[in-house]
Structure 1
Amino acid sequence: MLDGKFVIDGVAHAYNVDPSNYAVQPTAQAITQMVYAVAGGNVPPEYAVPPEKWIRDWSTDEVTNLLFRESATDFAIFHPTPIGAYHDGMTSVEKAADTIRRWPSRFLTYATVDPLRGKAALEEFDRQVELLAPIGLKLYPSSWTKGYHEGWRMGDPKVAFPFFERARQHGIRTVAVHKAIPFGDVPMQSYKVDDLDAAAAAFPDLNFEIVHGGVAFVEETAWLLGRFPNVWVNLEGLSFILGANPRTFASLLLGLCSVGGPLALDRMVWATGAMAAHPRPLLDAFARFQFPDDLLANDGGLFSSVPQISEETKENILGRNYARMAGLDIEKLAAGMARDEFSGADISVPAYSTTKVAVV
């Protein structure tokens, strides 16, 4: 817990970014370098990882240790990825299965597919439902299935809607989509958020979780939050900005509230993307975070202003909002982890000391 607040990390990964896993070049190398720079380029010295120790195949043990032995995280959502520029998708479905099998008291997971694979992807979705019992579906707006980049849109009735329908059939309530941060030298169009309104309107019973929401397209995302009660923002990406520049983070957060006002904060969920970034300094930064007074005084909210962030709002963002979105019971989660192997861990250990980064 962080200052008595239950922490659910909405995105955890175990990347395999070793060059031997690159299926499409130079795309995979460019993606790897971009993620390394975005997640690890502006961190305190004690959290800096040299590229030769980051650009490799990360194990599920390492990610689990970062979260529960080296930070105040209590629970996490493991996201496999279907990024075809890598042989195994960058974070394999097999790693997701391993994670929930070994640490069921600490993880749930999402399924993930490439919609441009059509019927084969729907069949793969069904397979993952049996394998993972996922609580969400994670999508990426880029495909490299044919060996080159193709983008697709969340509002496409032929490409995207069949997967939302299948999610409904499987009882899955949340569809998460990577937005705002383009993967390398690809067109930006499919990473915009102007396709979410059609999806949210057509499937009002599903939650649409914008991963990296607010890193770009702040005004457009604010209008989505203001218009659609089933649109949520996952703060992976914004949490990197918080760690590097809290004032910029504050400005972006206020921008996301510019239409819906402070109620928009009730649909924001915490995420660090661990292992892309170390979760501890980001959590520590959020524990200290306050809106600068001068930004509040000049809050450009279109319809209402945002008050200073409260400890209750922080508690909601850190865990209670995600639990409400996903239908989880925090008290039951806490009871399930009370006596597991991570209970009582000394999380003040040196950064990365429980991972291969520490190996000389």
Structure 2
Amino acid sequence: MIDGIPVIDAVVHPYNLTEENFRTPHARPITDIVSAGNRSVAPEGYRLPQEGYERDWSVEEVATMSFVENYTDLASYHVVPIRAFHDGICSIEKGLEAQERWPDRFLFYVGVDPLEGQKAFDDLDRQMEQFRDVTGLKLYPNSWLGQEVAGWKMDDPEVAFPIFEHARRHGIKTVAIHKAIPLGPVELQHYRVDDIDRAAMAFPDLNFEIVHGGMAFLEETAWQITRFRNVWVNLETTATMLTNRPAAFERAFAALIQHGGKKALGQIFWGTGCMVSHPRPHLEHFVRDFTLSAEITDRFGLPEISTDVKRAILAENYARLHGIDLGERLSRIKGDEFDLRRPDGTEPARGYSTTAVGDVAY
């Protein structure tokens, strides 16, 4: 908790960014994006040099960064199916390790590549057998199977809809799709959000989570969460603007709620993507510094960003989306190893101090 507010981080993933994990040439530009991103969004003390960042991160490091070096209570592990990397960049195996070691701290999103055809369905079946606490399905709009990058859209009745139907048969109710941030020199069209409209209409019993919502296509995203109760915004990466571009975050956040107001505030939730950047400074800025200026509030008739609003975004909205009894879930982590290392109300450990690169952070 931070200042008495529970925190659920909607995305964490320990990437393997070693060159040995590169499967196709596309792995290098993807690695360059996330590696440079760490240094561009982080304040002093939270930056890592390239050699310290581009390595195989362990799930234990992501766990301690989240629960010991930060105020996070629960975190959602995303299996990432980026086939430019041998293990997809964030492996199933690390997720299974988290499940075995810290089942009360983690929730899980399985991940497949819809353009792999039958293999995608088989992968989904297998992961559903392996993970016990699956709360969602993670997808990417590009496929890196060969030397050329292919793309697909969420409203494709032949590619996307069969995957949604298969996930639904497994009891999955939330589909998370990476949007807004193109991963390298690829077509922008697959990162737009327009294609989510038809998916939300065709599958009203599923929820669609826009990961990186607010980084681009603000007007379209704002109208989506106004028109569709089953479309949600995950603030992963967008949250980093709180630290390096606070005015830009204010404009983005105001734009997201400009049409839906209080209703829209109920469809936005917190995510950091730990370990892409260190989660702590962004969270502290959101809780302790962020507000909408009187000028923006008055001009657009926006609601106040109160402590209750922040509480909803940091944990309650995500818990409601997934049917999580937040009080019961938090009671299960009392007295665990992370609670003993950082009792509620105490200062987190220094950034990266529990990882293998604590001595090179600058």
Task: Place the TM-score, normalised by the shorter chain, in its bin.
Answer: over 0.9
Q: Which residue of 2 aligns with 1:169?
A: 169
Q: Provide the rounded CA distance (Å) in 1 between the counterparts of 2:42 and 2:86.
A: 30
Of the candidates 312, 318, 324, which is equivalent to residue 322 of structure 1? Answer: 318
Shift, 1:246, TM fit: 1.6
The superposition leaves residues 191-249 of structure 1 with CA deviations (integer Å, 9 ceiling, x where unpaired) of 10010001000000011000001100000001111111000000001111112122211
1:325 maps to a residue whose letter is L
Q: Which residue of 1 aligns with 2:297?
A: 296
Q: Provide the rounded CA distance (Å) in 1 between the counterparts of 2:96 and 2:69.
A: 23
1:37 maps to a residue whose letter is A
Q: Provide the rounded CA distance (Å) in 2 between the counterparts of 1:203 and 1:292.
A: 38
Matches within 5 A, 1:81-92: 81-92=80-91
Shift, 1:38, TM fit: 2.7
The answer as to 2:64 corresponding to 1:68 is no
Shift, 1:307, TM fit: 2.1
Task: List runs of 5+ in structure 1 lacking aligned partners.
Answer: 300-304
CA contact (8 A) 1:211 1:234 kept: yes
Q: Which residue of 1 aligns with 2:120?
A: 121
CA contact (8 A) 1:39 1:240 kept: no
CA contact (8 A) 2:11 2:272 kept: yes
Local SS of the residue matching 1:76: strand
Report the number of matched residues.
354
TM-score, length basis structure 1: 0.96
CA contact (8 A) 2:152 2:190 kept: yes
Matches within 5 A, 1:2-151: 2-25=2-25, 27-133=26-132, 134-151=134-151
Q: Which residue of 1 aligns with 2:192?
A: 192
Q: Provide the rounded CA distance (Å) in 2 between the counterparts of 1:217 and 1:294.
A: 23
Local SS of the residue matching 2:28: helix
Q: Provide the rounded CA distance (Å) in 2 between the counterparts of 1:252 and 1:45.
A: 24
> How many percent identity over aligned positions?
48
The answer as to 2:334 corresponding to 1:338 is yes
Local SS of the residue matching 1:236: coil
The superposition leaves residues 27-74 of structure 1 with CA deviations (integer Å, 9 ceiling, x where unpaired) of 211111111223431321111111110111100010000001100100
Shift, 1:121, TM fit: 0.6
Q: Provide the rounded CA distance (Å) in 2 between the counterparts of 1:55 and 1:154.
A: 31
Task: List runs of 5+ in structure 2 lacking aligned partners.
Answer: none
Local SS of the residue matching 1:185: coil
2:126 maps to a residue whose letter is R
Matches within 5 A, 1:188-337: 188-288=188-288, 289-299=290-300, 305-337=301-333
The superposition leaves residues 2-33 of structure 1 with CA deviations (integer Å, 9 ceiling, x where unpaired) of 111110000000000111111111x2111111
2:260 maps to a residue whose letter is G
CA contact (8 A) 1:38 1:240 kept: no
Q: Provide the rounded CA distance (Å) in 1 between the counterparts of 2:285 and 2:42.
A: 11
Shift, 1:359, TM fit: 4.8
Shift, 1:173, TM fit: 0.9
2:94 maps to a residue whose letter is K
CA contact (8 A) 1:40 1:276 kept: no
CA contact (8 A) 1:23 1:85 kept: yes
2:283 maps to a residue whose letter is L
- Alignment RMSD (CA, Å): 1.1
